[in-house]
Structures are given as structure tokens and as C-alpha cells.
Structure 1
Amino acid sequence: DSTGEGDAGEEEEEEGECGFCLFMKGGGCRETFIEWEKCVEEGEKNKEDIVEKCFGATDALKKCMEAHSDYYGPLLQAEKDAEAEVAKQMEEAK
């Protein structure tokens, strides 16, 4: 999968550009997403707690996506649906 954007780093070469990544970079939060992606990759490489390490980047990305909800709306809705489903399953498990 050669999109011509392979200069982002050697690590990404193994999987190419994922569909989710292409979608995220296609909207108004491209730069914010790239910062978040770098944080996650660095955390994985250094075996760090990604949730803790990238909290600020994740928060900034979520706020950016909400500000550009015309583009990211379906993804935000899917996330809300997934959270609701998890909450429902946890209730049923009690």
C-alpha cells in the first residue's frame, strides 16, 4: 500500500496507512491526530501507560473532533454507542 506518504517513520511501514488514520487525517483535526498518534506510538515503544501519557493529546483530539462534528460526527456517535453498549453489558453482568 504505497500512498506516497511513507516518510512518517519506519515503524508505520509494517501496516501502511490504516483506514481509520486516513479518515482522521482527512478532516480538520489532521495535526491534532498526528500529535496523538506520535504520543501513542512513543508510549508503546517505551512500554508506558498510554492512557496516562497521552491524556492531554487524547483530550485535545476529542475536543477538536467535537468542534468538527460535521466531519467526525459519525465516529463520535459510534464511540457514544460503544460506551452505552459497554455500560449496558456491565449492568447486565451484575
Structure 2
Amino acid sequence: HLNALALASGLASIHGIILDPESVQTNIVIFEVTEEPALGFIEGLKEAGLLVSSPGPRLVRMVTHIGITNKDIEEALNIVQTVSKGTSSAFGS
């Protein structure tokens, strides 16, 4: 689950995301956004081509399926970074 760990480490460094990378034990990465709701953030990710789900009002779930490459992880992190900067209501910027 090296890809999930790489994803978690990258996500943890993005402003507005709460995640302890050491908590990731499988290919599933769940993180918290600092403000409710996560739905606006999730919609922004979807519009940018990144599909995620929300198991709770402030939670986002990402899964690193088989076949995901390091390049895919980098691309996903770039999308999350870009969307987080543009979602001021969700990230207090």
C-alpha cells in the first residue's frame, strides 16, 4: 500500500486537510477537511477529474486501486492542492 502512504503523506501537507499518514493501513485514505461541508470540495475534485466519496460531512475518502501509478498519485495531489486553494469557504483562505 505504498501508493496510499504516498497519497496520505502528500495530502497531510495540504492546508485545510487533517490527516495522520501513519493511520493509513490499507489502500483507503480518509481525511478530514477543516470546515463543513466537504461536498463543495468533493464537487471541485470531481470537476477536475478526481472521483472521491464522502463518508461524513467533513470526511473525504480516496482509494488507490490496483494499477494506480506514482504519476497518478502526483496528479491526484496536484488536483487536491489546486481545488483546496480555490475552495475558500471550505479551507478558510
Bigger radius of gyration: 1
Given the two structures, how large is their TM-score scaled by the length of structure 2?
A: 0.34
Give 1 or 2: higher helix fraction: 1
Decide which structure has greater strand share. Answer: 2
Larger relative CO (CA 8 A, sep 6+): 1 or 2?
A: 2
TM-score (norm 1): 0.34
